[in-house]
Amino acid sequence: MISLQDNRCLGPVLALCMAASALFLAGCEEKVAPEKPIRPVVSMVVGDIERIRTDVYPGRAKATQEVNISFEVSGKMTERRVNVGDSVKRGDVLAVLEPDRYKAEVNRLKAERTAALAQLENAEKQLARQEELLLKGFTPKARVDERRAAERSARAKAASIRAAIDSAELDLSHTTVTAPFDGTASETFVENFQNVVAKQPILRLLDTSQIEMEVNVPEALIGLAPHVKEILVRFKTLPDVEIPAKIKEVSNEASLTTRTYPVTIIMDQPEGAHIKPGMAGEAKAVVELPGDWAKKGIAVPAAALFSPDDAKTDEVFVWIVNEADKSVQRRQVQVVATARRGVLIKGIKAKERIVIAGVSFLNDGQKVRILPD
């Protein structure tokens, strides 16, 4: 049996054991490393030609040239020769202003120039006479200088009036406005006998011989633009007509909200159909990569590169996403050159997935969740 005295001794011993156990358990808990959070990442598949082949890029048709026609001078429009829907050729007269006051100004200046030329002729004769008298010693040099100054003044006045005539004749020519290109009048803003001011639009002219369409290409795919072999466009109003197109322009700046690049494509009007501005369409592209594509450098967004604290100054890395377990591993790459829309690097392969945003918040082996493009 345990005596009362033994119980008094056992109590402190039990308390000491329990405290030691608690400290041991606490120590064990401290050694368990917290699990790294699964971080969502924006990524891209390098050289993803399958995706660009299957993706559809929506857009709306627009005329390859669009311009609001206006007069360079003010006046009353006496004649508008085209209406909405009319087709015109380059150089065709579109509208005419009342020219009377501009003709009157030209005539007035021509009369002034006739008088100025007569004054110049007289000044030249006076100067020649005084120079002859100076040679014979019959007139002072000061008189010759006066006649020379008068002759220069008359010559300058005649030249000034000539310039004013050129300007007035140009204004007169601007009372007629012509088509700058072949096109179609899509809208009119002024009717006959209305007064208009310079630069006021009188009609809108569209060149629809070719059609343009702007589509938005994701940042992950824009590096493939130079390797696009074929573009085909369909419009919803003409679903059975497939129109070949080509890239006209690629923007150098991505949208801050969508991270897409505006790409303008251009196409000819198809035979037997007519695409009008505003029609909704969809474009598909076929990409063909050259054999030495990866050797020359693969274009990736600059935000995909990072340099960790333990790296050398000239070392840069990317995060490679393991598709099997959705973890990331860093890999050193070599920067070949700066591209128009990113950088060219070596050290990665086609079809590998890399992280292109938030690279500074990741660690080796960390699990990630791939966000949709």
User: DSSP class of residue 367?
Assistant: B
User: DSSP class of residue 221?
Assistant: T
Dist CA 43 CA 318 (whole Å): 11
- Domain-ending residue, one of 152, 187, 204: 204
Same domain, 187 and 80: yes
The verdict on residue 14 lying in a domain is no
Give per-residue pLDDT as tens, 93-129: 999 999 999 999 999 999 999 999 999 999 999 999 9
Dist CA 280 CA 277 (whole Å): 9
The verdict on residue 242 lying in a domain is yes
Same domain, 111 and 148: yes
Give per-residue pLDDT as tens, 21-68: 554 445 555 555 566 678 898 888 887 777 877 889 999 999 999 999
Least confident of 5-19, 174-188, 354-368: 5-19
Same domain, 126 and 152: yes
| CATH number reported for the structural domain that contains residue 92 in this entry | 2.40.50.100
Dist CA 352 CA 33 (whole Å): 30
Dist CA 65 CA 182 (whole Å): 10
> Which residue's entry shows tokens 């909405």?
84
Give per-residue pLDDT as tens, 179-229: 999 999 999 999 999 999 999 999 999 999 999 999 999 888 888 888 899
Same domain, 81 and 125: no
Same domain, 223 and 242: yes
The verdict on residue 81 lying in a domain is yes
Beta strands per DSSP E along the chain: 39-45, 57-70, 75-80, 87-88, 93-97, 176-178, 183-188, 195-196, 201-218, 228-235, 238-250, 260-268, 280-287, 298-300, 316-322, 327-339, 342-346, 353-357, 368-370
> Which residue's entry shows tokens 């009377």?
100
Q: How far is CA 17 from CA 2, 246, 335, in A?
A: 19, 82, 62
The verdict on residue 25 lying in a domain is no
Query: How many domains is the chain built from?
Result: 4
Model pTM score: 0.66
Dist CA 48 CA 219 (whole Å): 12
pLDDT of residue 159: 96
pLDDT of residue 2: 45
| CATH number reported for the structural domain that contains residue 276 in this entry | 2.40.30.170
Dist CA 244 CA 271 (whole Å): 12
**Residue 336 belongs to what domain range?**
40-46+295-370
Dist CA 373 CA 45 (whole Å): 10
Report, as an integer, the average pLDDT of 350-365: 88
User: DSSP class of residue 222?
Assistant: G
Q: Which residues contact 351 (CB under 8 A, 6 or more apart)?
A: 45, 46, 47, 48
The verdict on residue 26 lying in a domain is no
The verdict on residue 33 lying in a domain is no
pLDDT of residue 337: 82
The verdict on residue 19 lying in a domain is no
| Secondary structure of residue 306 in the 3-state scheme | strand
Same domain, 287 and 310: no
Please check the confidence at residue 273 and state whether its pLDDT lies above 90.
no
